[in-house]
Each structure stands twice: as C-alpha cells, then as structure tokens.
C-alpha cells in the first residue's frame, strides 16, 4: 500500500480493552499485566515491528513452534502509521479463581467493577476509561490514534408522535467525547472518532435488532417484522450539531 500510495496512511483495527486490578495484591497486579498484554500483543507487533518478549515466552511455555525467516522479520518492521480501535468498556482482573468463576459467562468473562453502572446487556459504562486508554496507547506507541467504534446499545421506544427520545445515548456519547477531548489536552494525537453506528443494525454480540445503536431508527424487529422505514432519533440532531460545532456543543 505504501508503494502504491506513498502519501497514504495505513492503520489497523484493535480491541480497545483496558483491564484494572481488583486489588493491590501482587498476584492481582501481575495477572492484570498479563491480561492487558493479551490484547496489547497485536498492537505491539503492528506498531513496533516485532514479536514482544512476553509472547516469545508464551510460545515457549506452551510448546508453540513457529517457522519464521529473516525475511519475515524484515517484513514485520513495516509498521502501521496509526492505531485505530474500538472502545466500549473496561473490566477488572484478579488471580482469585473463585471470583473468576463467578464472572464466567458475562461479556468477555470480566470481573465487574462495583463502581460502574451497566447497560441493559451488562456492558459497564466508563467514559473516563476512554481517556485512560488513549493516554496508555499514546505513551506505548507514540502513533496517531483513531477511535473507530464507540456507542451504546439500548432498547429504543417509538412514541405515539413518532419521536424517539434516546437521551441516554446522547449522555453516553457526550461523556465519552468529552473524555476524548481531555485526552487531546493531555497531549494525545487523536485523528478522529466514528460511532457505532449511524443506523440501527443487527447486534453482532446478540444477533438482535432490539439492541439498537444508531442515530437513525429502523422499523425492524427481532421476529423479522417491520417495514424497514427509517426515522431520526433525538440523538441524530444532537450528533449533527456536535460535528458542525467541532465539539463545542458538548457538555462537560
């Protein structure tokens, strides 16, 4: 791609995971380090151009043998120009297996953070975590960042007059964008933000249309009924103004 378009910028798509330790016990601290590395690994290879030492050890400890040539190593040195990622929530990590068993089956099997509220589907909501993640990634890679997924899945109600008052979605996005702005003030180079998603679609995690993310409502339901007619939610006009004002309309 760089040869075809020398001025082009090539990026990636990563999970914006961020895990906190449950306690300051050394075992929890180290387990959290390992858990964060499980998603940082991909960015480390793509942005730094080599397999990190902790993954080399993982391969050895798990009997994984790879055939990699000098030409392969040289190819890896061609790194991405920017880091793009999704961000929806944070989670907690512990070395306590009893607590881990309790968390099995929830989204990503993470231990819930008792200090955070959750969506109807159990996704914990933490705008400040976005600012933290942006700072962590910027300090780790020193490459421009791009938030390419962020949004709130919720059940939207169509009122008798056809309006859809999704103020909960407005609040969610406002608070996350405010924290993104704070990260910029922290010195993070942030290329942009795109929400998930502009129009209602089938939820990838639940295969449901009732878990809606869009600014535009689609008249389609989990049982397959509906006309597919589109209508603007309250968040549509709000987000349009955020774009037009370049964030000046956000409420801190």
Cβ within 8 Å of residue 131, ≥6 positions away: 179, 180, 182, 183, 186
Cβ within 8 Å of residue 233, ≥6 positions away: 156, 164, 165, 166, 169, 214, 215, 216, 217
- Measured CA to CA, the distance from residue 188 to residue 130 in angstroms comes to 12
| CA 97 to mean position of chain CA atoms | 26
| CA 50 to mean position of chain CA atoms | 24
Helices 127-141 + 26-48 axis angle, to 10: 60
Confidence at residue 13, expressed as pLDDT on a 0 to 100 scale? 92
84-113 average pLDDT score: 80
121-142 average pLDDT score: 95
Q: What is the pTM of this model?
A: 0.93
143-147 average pLDDT score: 98
20-30 average pLDDT score: 95
Q: Which of 188, 170, 137 shows the shortest CA–CA distance to 236?
A: 170
Residue-wise pLDDT tens digits, 173-221: 999 999 999 999 999 999 999 999 999 999 887 889 999 999 999 999 9
Helices 234-244 + 167-185 axis angle, to 10: 20
- Measured CA to CA, the distance from residue 100 to residue 128 in angstroms comes to 25
Residues comprising the chain, all counted? 252
157-167 average pLDDT score: 97
pLDDT higher than 60, residue 105: no
What is the three-class DSSP state of 160?
coil
The tokens describing 189, both together, are 């180079």
């Amino acid at each position: 791609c760089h040869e075809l378009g020398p001025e082009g910028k090539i990026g990636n798509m990563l999970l914006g995971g961020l895990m906190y330790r449950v306690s300051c016990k050394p075992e929890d601290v180290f387990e959290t380090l390992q858990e964060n590395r499980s998603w940082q690994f991909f960015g480390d290879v793509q942005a730094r151009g080599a397999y990190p030492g902790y993954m080399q050890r993982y391969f050895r400890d798990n009997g994984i043998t790879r055939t990699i040539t000098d030409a392969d190593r040289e190819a890896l040195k061609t790194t991405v120009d920017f880091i793009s990622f999704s961000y929806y929530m944070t989670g907690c990590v512990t070395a306590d297996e009893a607590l881990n068993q309790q968390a099995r089956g929830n989204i990503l099997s993470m231990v819930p953070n008792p200090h955070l509220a959750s969506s109807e589907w159990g996704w914990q909501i933490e705008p400040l975590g976005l600012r933290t993640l942006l700072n962590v990634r910027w300090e780790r890679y020193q490459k421009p960042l791009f938030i390419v997924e962020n949004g709130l899945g919720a059940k939207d109600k169509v009122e008798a007059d056809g309006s859809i008052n999704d103020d909960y979605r407005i609040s969610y996005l406002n608070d996350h964008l405010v924290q993104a702005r704070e990260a910029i003030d922290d010195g993070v180079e942030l290329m942009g933000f795109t929400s998930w998603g502009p129009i209602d679609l089938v939820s990838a995690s639940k295969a449901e249309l009732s878990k809606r993310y869009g600014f535009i409502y689609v008249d389609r339901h989990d049982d397959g009924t509906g006309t597919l007619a589109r209508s603007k939610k309250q968040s549509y006009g709000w987000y349009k103004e955020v774009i037009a004002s370049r964030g000046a309309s956000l409420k801190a």
